[in-house]
A and B are shown apart, each in its own frame.
Chain A
Amino acid sequence: DAGITQSPRYKITETGRQVTLMCHQTWSHSYMFWYRQDLGHGLRLIYYSAAADITDKGEVPDGYVVSRSKTENFPLTLESATRSQTSVYFCASRQATTYEQYFGPGTRLTVT
Chain B
Amino acid sequence: AQTVTQSQPEMSVQEAETVTLSCTYDTSENNYYLFWYKQPPSRQMILVIRQEAYKQQNATENRFSVNFQKAAKSFSLKISDSQLGDTAMYFCAFMKHGTGGTSYGKLTFGQGTILTVHP
Residue A48, interface by CB 8 Å:
yes
| Most B-side CB within 10 Å, residue of A42, A58, A100 | A42
Decide: A43 near B107, CB < 8 A? Known: A88-B43, A103-B44, A103-B45. yes
Pair A99/B110 contact, Cβ less than 8 Å: no
A96 contacts across to B, CB distance below 8 A: 99-100, 105
CB contacts between A and B, total, < 8 Å? 53
- Size category, A interface: 20 to 34
B106 contacts across to A, CB distance below 8 A: 33, 45, 48, 58
A2 to chain B minimum Cβ distance, whole angstroms, is 16
A interface residues, Cβ below 8 angstroms from B: 31, 33, 35, 40-45, 48, 50, 54, 56, 58, 88, 90, 92, 94, 96-101, 103, 105-106
B interface residues, Cβ below 8 angstroms from A: 4, 6, 33, 43-45, 47, 50, 91, 95, 99-102, 105-112
